[in-house]
Amino acid sequence: MILSICIPTYNRHEHLSNCLNSIVISSQNKKIDFEVCISDNCSDENTEELIKPFEEKIKIKFNRNNKNIGTMANMFKVVSMAEGEFSWIIGNDDLLLPNTLEKLDNLIRENSDVDFFFINSFNLDFNYLKKFSRPFNTMNLPLEMDKVSKKEKSQKLNFWNLIDPEISYDFLLGMFLAVFRRQKWVDNLKFVDNELIKDARYWSNFDNTCSHIKVFANAFNNSKAYFQAEPLSVNLYGVREWSSFYEFVEIIRIPELLDYYRSRGLNLNKFIYCKNYALRNFVPYLAKILLRKKSGLEYIKFSKHILKNLFYPNVYLSFFYFIFRKLNFVKINTNEKIKNEN
């Protein structure tokens, strides 16, 4: 079996049905040998009943946890169910394109020496899907959508070359962008702290936010990788329950994951460049964290997350970037208002 599509899920049944329907549609265009693994993290709704109609069309393995074991632990659980040579972890709100499985099958077969594929994705407001009946038919996707990565050329490269803000501003934190050789993942699970990932609080520690990064950095640091410029999935924004933690993740957890990459072999010059980039919103985002409830403030350690980063220019420039964006926004809106009045 070539591919296991792994979906950790918790509630959000409307999105899961859309996701599974997109896989069914994509499978009709290519008879690829694949499976879908679903691990339900003790949802309030009957997930098993929801997936029954899809089991008649695609191979599905299903697990339901007896209790909520935490987001990250459930992600590891669903990959443990997989048997494919490669695994692809996607959110229950992600969508495959009609030609995704055909292109992914060809991509894997044509690059047999590659262990890790970065698969670009489109961004789409989930409200767009409300115009259509459920489950959503991906033939109705808009013709124009923004891309996660703006790089235009696909290429084979070394794994560390993927750690680049032009490829991914969050440096592989978004797990839906990675198709990886499963056995290498399994061989490097020893780097995960199995107790910390059980903490069900959103992003309360590094392991329950970035454990997949720890596996990636150890499993693939000497591997050939491939950057797939053409998006093969759609990720929906406006769905995430943890959106109030966004600023915390960007200026606290992402710099931490870069520290981890450095400890596993990331080039020093690239590390400094990426770390400075990751702090481009530091001051305004820290202000939001301080002023907002449920923002991750209680997880910030002054010496580790603040003092350690004060050496980077963007910490100080971030305030001026913020002011410039605000002034530019006002200017654009004023010009639009004048244009409309005329």
Q: DSSP letters of 259-314?
A: HHHHHTT--HHHHHHHHHHHTTTHHHHHHHHHHSSSSSGGG--IIIIIGGGTTSHH
Residue 223 and residue 316 share a domain: no
Residue 47 and residue 66 share a domain: yes
For the chain, the 3-state helix, strand and coil shares in percent, each to the nearest 5, are 50, 20, 35
CA gap 205, 72 in Å, rounded: 11
Residue 146 and residue 75 share a domain: yes
Residue 214 and residue 282 share a domain: no
pLDDT for the residue 32:
82
- Residue 328, judged by CB atoms within 10 A of its CB (0-12, 13-18, 19+), counts as exposed
Residue 204 and residue 78 share a domain: yes
> What's the DSSP call for residue 61?
E
Whether residue 242 is predicted with pLDDT greater than 80 in this model: the reply is no
Mean local confidence (pLDDT), 284-313:
94
Q: Are 136 and 18 in contact (CB under 8 A)?
A: yes
* The domain boundary residue, chosen from 241, 261, 288: 241
Residue 248 and residue 232 share a domain: no
Q: Cα 250 vs. chain centroid, distance in angstroms?
A: 13
CA gap 79, 181 in Å, rounded: 11
* The domain boundary residue, chosen from 222, 241, 260: 241
Residue 158's domain spans which residues? 3-241
Tokens of 209: 């936010």
Residue 253 and residue 231 share a domain: no
Region class of 134: left (phi > 0), else alpha (psi between -120 and 50), else beta = beta
Residue 200 and residue 298 share a domain: no
| Residue 11 banded pLDDT, cuts 50, 70, 90 | confident
Q: Is 222 helix (H, G, I), strand (E, B) or coil?
A: coil
Residue 69 and residue 206 share a domain: yes
Residue 337 and residue 202 share a domain: no
Residue 257 and residue 224 share a domain: no
Which has the higher per-residue pLDDT, 38 or 325? 38
Mean local confidence (pLDDT), 164-182:
96
* The domain boundary residue, chosen from 192, 222, 241: 241
Mean local confidence (pLDDT), 115-144:
95
pLDDT for the residue 185:
98
pLDDT tens for residues 30-83?
778 999 999 999 998 899 999 999 999 999 999 999 999 888 999 999 999 999
- How much is the pTM? 0.93
CATH number at residue 209: 3.90.550.10
pLDDT tens for residues 76-89?
999 999 999 999 99
Domain total for the chain? 2
Residue 324 and residue 178 share a domain: no
